[in-house]
Chain A
Amino acid sequence: MFFITVSAFTMKPTYNLDHAVIRFAGDSGDGIQIIGSQFASASALLGNDIRSLPDFPAEIRAPEGSVGGVSSFQVQFGNSAVYTPGDKCDALVAMNAAALKACVNDVAEGGIIIANTAGFSEKNLRLAGYAQNPLEDKSLAKFNIFPVNISQMTAHALADHKLSTRETERAKNFFALGMMYWLYNRTIEPTAEWLRKKFSGQPEILNANIEVLCSGWDYAVNAELFPVRYQVSAAPLPVGKYRSLTGNVGIALGLIAGSIKSGLPLFFGGYPITPASDILQTLTAYKHFGVKVFQAEDEIAAIASALGASFGGNLAATATSGPGMSLKTEALGLAVMAELPLVVVNVQRSGPSTGMPTKTEQSDLFQALYGRHGEAPLVVLAPATPAECFAIAFEAVRIALKYMTPVIILSDAYLANGAEPWRIPGDDELPDIEPRLTTEVPEGGFKPYLRNPETLARAWAVPGTPSLEHRIGGLEKQGATGGVSHNPEHHAAMVKARAAKIAGIADDMPSAELCGADSGEILVISWGGTFGAVRTAVESLQKQGESVAHVHLRALHPFPRNLAALMQGFEHIVVAELNSGQLVAVLRGEFAQNIFQYNKVSGQPFTADEITVFLHRFLAQKPVMRNAA
């Protein structure tokens, strides 16, 4: 739905859109991520709801001009709720032939493609695998192609600046951004302000970038290139103060907020790994909050140091991704055995082994639930959106400290780098957190594993507390005293006690929320970062009158108490996840139900469209599929 107005300034008709999806793509050295996130920020500042998704190669500088070296950034912005970065792009900026090749299949029919003709040399075409120039043959007939020599226009704009050829070439991303700002009616000022901060010590570079940004805008106005402009007005988001938040920054802020609310200093042990390093880096900027960041020698030391800090009474956390999670496994078992609070973040990526470090996946659920020797239950949570990473990190802190347990957060590469507007919570929206610290000297001596009858959590006596000296460790315990014991009854009782404590936490967690009627044909269950695509698909089917509902799980262990009851209301249950069927296997085991599955393991997130198509097909073929299952 759109209507047309005419801009007084440019005298170009302006189409009002509900949503738009745009993508920038170029070489990994082209500054694509910078202009993409600038476009996203500018849209957020205009009040749009946004979701953005960067996609970049694992190599820092893959061979220039190759399809493997293409870096891209997609953002969807809308005047109502936006759940995903969008399936198909309405506009693509391709800085070279490889970028076009990598992205052209993701452009909507009739969509705009702005192509930097300087990136379509014979060499570029060869590297991209084009036999002939796609801008000149008819292969792109179903799109609106706008060939612009962005590199040359940038050089013209900077003719009077004393910059090297290389520096000039590097500024071309801002020319593209300027054009897109005009095309979508964004304001230049926030980006100009960002540039002023970033290049405050380098006036030549600063002036050049601003000049190029404005030149891109002016070119779009003067060259009469585009017949129309687009406008996406503000979304009716809840009242409040907003900022943009990525998943990784959300995790970092959630941990620090947990530190403030619990009164415990935050200790973070980390080791660089894609795509979790941002958490480590972000936390180093909060030393004034007393945050202690320890960059360890390896993943094992990262978690072991955190466990040492936890033993010492700090709020302790570590973050990693798949391979690092494998290395942390043994120490996680110790955390379960010692019953110490600890938050462990796994920003999942495609595995196994090194896999695809920058690509997303949900394939570490089994590992989180079961990947330890012995019976070692712990709490597993998963955020649904980038901004929700904040709330889940805070909740992980609350649970860890209240129940004296490690908590795993399963984020993923898609959430980690994706951004969305976050309504900044007021102080009173976050509960106080009361750690289990004790100083009381009980009669008969301190018993480190004596449990609170309600929470089953042990007390936390930290070194420095007079008269509560005690020893803990990985050996099995007698019971309340924590004394080492290999007695069969003691072991059986402790295994049960540890499991009962974790199972009971379900009473202290929110119920699963149903989107849709509480009974019907299909209930779709999802978890983690697939929320946006699944919710978009389910809502679109609901609008078409289909009997489809959606439950999105944030707690994977223990499950929400009401999950079994919710499932009872539906004829069919479908679990959609980015693995070969992990949550579905757990649900089948736990609830002994016939459950269908929809999976994708390509390293790419779900699109709303593919889930919609699947559900349509499922609705049409249910009996067949039921027999097949």
Chain B
Amino acid sequence: MNNLIDSITSNGTAEHNFTVKDLRPAADVRWCAGCGDYSVLSQVQKLLPELGVERENIAFVSGIGCSSRFPYYIETYGFHTIHGRAAAVATGLKVARPELSVWVITGDGDALSIGGNHTIHLLRRNVDVNVLLFNNQIYGLTKGQYSPTSQHGQVTKSSPTGMPDYPFNPVSLALGAGGTFVARTLDRDLKHLGAMLRRAADHKGTSFLEIYQNCVVFNDGAFDEFTDKATKPERVLFLEHGQPLIFGANKDKGIRLDGLKPEVVSLASGEYSAEDLVIYDEHDPTLAFLIANLTYNPDFPRPVGVFLNVDRPCYEDEITAQIDAAKSTPKGSNTSLQALFASPGHEWSIA
């Protein structure tokens, strides 16, 4: 069958050379001054020209929320959809057009509350899209109600006496759903953010990147502990593949395993050295689960970086392969209307 789409699209021939400037849209960016979304936007704009993907082959799909306005602010193809459904829309787009670079822009309410089902199934299928989850632990666009990542007891407009439920840990959720690339980064650590975006883009399969993003108006300072110069070294554990889990301003603390139980140890006393610590392996799902579960444990620094990076076939490739296999069978050689209508052995003629 003649495929019109193949004939009109670029197939990798045009617009290789574009710059950050080409990605700036005509529309004004309308996030609040100081919003963490700006730094993500600028890091993404910086990254795209380096990917070797034509500008017209990039598509951003978003749901609803402050961060979901993102597609309007970047001069590529974009689809601002409905609350929670970006993952499902992106799945259809990627299956329809596997050659596209598809990005899902979503937030904690969008991806984990109203769209939770689509998020876990996207991860399970391993559709090759990049999910940027802007986690500000609050509903910002609706002006300050608690979200599924707000903290227990947190006072918000909808929890004046404290949030009664407990938050998701998005990284553990993504791992549990079978994510093949699961990472966390910080809006205020531009270098780390840029590096994580690059890793997410490079991964073949669903890339799930949780970005701690400060909401200056309704949840300001939620991540200060992890972003302020004074506390960050003690409170953030940077995961690096092949490296021991060390943190602290003086690189004098580490994570070791006592059986299956992680513990913080001091490297200063001389009792432990770097060799006693966990050497991080981003290809090891068991370790990823173990370290991800330290997330809300106040006795441990907050782990950020790539938790897991493994290979598994992508959903859209399986679909494409099944179609190619069907096309290469004898019946695949005739895709005419009459072949479609045929019902061998069950047809009759009236003359």
Residue on A nearest B334 in the bound complex, by CB: A288
Give a binary string over A296-308; 1 marks a CB under 8 Å from any B CB, 0 the rest: 1110110011111
In chain A, residues 406-451, which have Cβ atoms closer than 8 Å to a Cβ of chain B? 424-425, 427, 430, 435, 437, 439
Q: Are B347 and A334 neighbours in the complex by a CB distance under 8 Å?
A: no
User: Is B250's CB within 8 Å of the partner chain A?
Assistant: no
Q: Are A471 and B95 neighbours in the complex by a CB distance under 8 Å?
A: no
Q: Are A45 and B348 neighbours in the complex by a CB distance under 8 Å?
A: yes
Segment of B3-11, B197-205, B241-249, B287-295 in the binding face: B3-11
Give a binary string over B68-90; 1 marks a CB under 8 Å from any A CB, 0 the rest: 00011001111111100100111
Q: A253-B340, A463-B56, A467-B15 are in contact. Are A309 and B96 (CB under 8 A)?
A: yes
Q: Are A44 and B348 neighbours in the complex by a CB distance under 8 Å?
A: yes
Q: Are A430 and B96 neighbours in the complex by a CB distance under 8 Å?
A: no
Q: Which 10 A-B pairs rank lowest in CB-CB distance, beginning with the nearest?
A: A473-B80, A308-B92, A464-B9, A305-B92, A287-B326, A304-B88, A309-B96, A308-B89, A471-B78, A301-B88
Alpha-carbon distance between A44 and B85 when the two chains are bound, in angstroms: 46
In chain A, residues 560-611, which have Cβ atoms closer than 8 Å to a Cβ of chain B? none
Q: Which of A290, A310, A312, A469 contacts B75 (CB 8 A)?
A: A469
In chain B, residues 317-351, which have Cβ atoms closer than 8 Å to a Cβ of chain A? 319, 322-323, 325-327, 329, 331-332, 335-338, 340-343, 345-351
Q: Are B5 and A314 neighbours in the complex by a CB distance under 8 Å?
A: yes
Q: Are B336 and A263 neighbours in the complex by a CB distance under 8 Å?
A: no
Alpha-carbon distance between A278 and B348 when the two chains are bound, in angstroms: 24
Q: Give the Cβ gap from B66 to chain A, nearest Cβ, in Å.
A: 14
Q: Are B8 and A465 neighbours in the complex by a CB distance under 8 Å?
A: yes
Q: Which of A267, A286, A288 contacts B96 (CB 8 A)?
A: A267
A262 — which chain B residues lie within 8 A by C-beta?
4
Q: A308-B90, A484-B27 are in contact. Are A298 and B78 (CB under 8 A)?
A: no
Q: Are B92 and A307 neighbours in the complex by a CB distance under 8 Å?
A: yes
User: Is B142's CB within 8 Å of the partner chain A?
Assistant: no
Residue on B nearest A263 in the bound complex, by CB: B4
User: Is B273's CB within 8 Å of the partner chain A?
Assistant: no
Alpha-carbon distance between A472 and B99 when the two chains are bound, in angstroms: 20
Residue on A nearest B2 in the bound complex, by CB: A263
List 5 interface pairs A-B (beta carbons < 8 Å), by A numbering: A190-B346, A312-B96, A463-B100, A466-B10, A484-B27
B8 — which chain A residues lie within 8 A by C-beta?
437, 439, 462, 464-465
Q: Are B89 and A471 neighbours in the complex by a CB distance under 8 Å?
A: no
Alpha-carbon distance between A243 and B341 when the two chains are bound, in angstroms: 9
A308 — which chain B residues lie within 8 A by C-beta?
61, 79, 88-94, 96
In chain A, residues 280-324, which have Cβ atoms closer than 8 Å to a Cβ of chain B? 286-292, 294, 296-298, 300-301, 304-314, 316
Q: Are A331 and B82 neighbours in the complex by a CB distance under 8 Å?
A: yes
Q: Are B75 and A427 neighbours in the complex by a CB distance under 8 Å?
A: no
User: Is B251's CB within 8 Å of the partner chain A?
Assistant: no
A288 — which chain B residues lie within 8 A by C-beta?
323, 326-327, 329, 331-332, 335
Q: Are A305 and B91 neighbours in the complex by a CB distance under 8 Å?
A: yes
Q: Give the Cβ gap from A414 to chain B, nearest Cβ, in Å.
A: 22
Q: Are B95 and A311 neighbours in the complex by a CB distance under 8 Å?
A: no
Q: Are A263 and B351 neighbours in the complex by a CB distance under 8 Å?
A: no
Q: Give the Cβ gap from A279 to chain B, nearest Cβ, in Å.
A: 15
Segment of A234-242, A350-358, A551-559 in the binding face: A234-242
In chain A, residues 244-283, which have Cβ atoms closer than 8 Å to a Cβ of chain B? 244, 253, 256-257, 259-265, 267, 269
Q: A331-B82, A427-B336 are in contact. Are A313 and B96 (CB under 8 A)?
A: yes
Alpha-carbon distance between A41 and B345 when the two chains are bound, in angstroms: 10
Q: Are A263 and B89 neighbours in the complex by a CB distance under 8 Å?
A: no
Which of A240, A262, A312, A313: most chain B CB closer than 10 A? A312
Q: Are B118 and A297 neighbours in the complex by a CB distance under 8 Å?
A: yes
Q: Are A296 and B96 neighbours in the complex by a CB distance under 8 Å?
A: no
User: Is A475's CB within 8 Å of the partner chain B?
Assistant: yes
User: Is B253's CB within 8 Å of the partner chain A?
Assistant: no
User: Is A470's CB within 8 Å of the partner chain B?
Assistant: yes
Q: Give the Cβ gap from A244 to chain B, nearest Cβ, in Å.
A: 6
Alpha-carbon distance between A47 and B55 when the two chains are bound, in angstroms: 59
A425 — which chain B residues lie within 8 A by C-beta?
337, 341
Alpha-carbon distance between A307 and B331 when the two chains are bound, in angstroms: 30
User: Is A483's CB within 8 Å of the partner chain B?
Assistant: yes
Q: Give the Cβ gap from A130 to chain B, nearest Cβ, in Å.
A: 40
Give a binary string over B148-192; 1 marks a CB under 8 Å from any A CB, 0 the rest: 000000000000000000000000000000000000000000000
Q: Which of B5, B27, B343 contacts A464 (CB 8 A)?
A: B5
Known A288-B326, A307-B92; 11 more pairs at CB < 8 Å: A257-B340, A262-B4, A287-B323, A290-B335, A301-B121, A304-B118, A424-B338, A425-B337, A437-B5, A464-B57, A464-B99
Q: Are A474 and B80 neighbours in the complex by a CB distance under 8 Å?
A: yes
Q: Are B85 and A300 neighbours in the complex by a CB distance under 8 Å?
A: yes
Residue on A nearest B13 in the bound complex, by CB: A466
Q: Give the Cβ gap from B275 to chain A, nearest Cβ, in Å.
A: 45
Q: Give the Cβ gap from B133 to chain A, nearest Cβ, in Å.
A: 18
Q: Are B4 and A437 neighbours in the complex by a CB distance under 8 Å?
A: yes
Which of B1, B10, B117, B348: most chain A CB closer than 10 A? B348
Q: Give the Cβ gap from A266 to chain B, nearest Cβ, in Å.
A: 10
B337 — which chain A residues lie within 8 A by C-beta?
257, 260-261, 425, 427, 430
Q: Are B117 and A298 neighbours in the complex by a CB distance under 8 Å?
A: yes
A424 — which chain B residues lie within 8 A by C-beta?
338, 341, 347
Alpha-carbon distance between A463 and B347 when the two chains are bound, in angstroms: 42
Q: Give the Cβ gap from B62 to chain A, nearest Cβ, in Å.
A: 8
Residue on A nearest B55 in the bound complex, by CB: A469
Alpha-carbon distance between A466 and B2 when the two chains are bound, in angstroms: 21
User: Is A330's CB within 8 Å of the partner chain B?
Assistant: yes
Q: Which of A243, A259, A316 contacts B347 (CB 8 A)?
A: A243
User: Is A468's CB within 8 Å of the partner chain B?
Assistant: yes
B59 — which chain A residues lie within 8 A by C-beta?
311-312, 463
Q: Are A289 and B349 neighbours in the complex by a CB distance under 8 Å?
A: no
User: Is B230's CB within 8 Å of the partner chain A?
Assistant: no
Q: A243-B343, A330-B82, A470-B77 are in contact. Are A311 and B89 (CB under 8 A)?
A: yes
User: Is B257's CB within 8 Å of the partner chain A?
Assistant: no
Residue on A nearest B331 in the bound complex, by CB: A288
A264 — which chain B residues lie within 8 A by C-beta?
3-5
Alpha-carbon distance between A316 and B95 when the two chains are bound, in angstroms: 12
B79 — which chain A residues lie within 8 A by C-beta?
308, 311, 338, 471-473
User: Is A160's CB within 8 Å of the partner chain B?
Assistant: no
Q: Give the Cβ gap from B126 to chain A, nearest Cβ, in Å.
A: 14
Residue on A nearest B328 in the bound complex, by CB: A288
User: Is A224's CB within 8 Å of the partner chain B?
Assistant: no
Alpha-carbon distance between A483 and B27 when the two chains are bound, in angstroms: 8
Q: Which of A263, A269, A313 contacts B1 (CB 8 A)?
A: A263
Q: Give the Cβ gap from B21 to chain A, nearest Cβ, in Å.
A: 14
User: Is A193's CB within 8 Å of the partner chain B?
Assistant: yes
Alpha-carbon distance between A117 and B326 when the two chains are bound, in angstroms: 49
Residue on A nearest B121 in the bound complex, by CB: A297
B80 — which chain A residues lie within 8 A by C-beta?
471-475
B342 — which chain A residues lie within 8 A by C-beta?
243
Q: Are B347 and A242 neighbours in the complex by a CB distance under 8 Å?
A: yes
Alpha-carbon distance between A418 and B57 when the two chains are bound, in angstroms: 45
Q: Give the Cβ gap from A95 to chain B, nearest Cβ, in Å.
A: 26
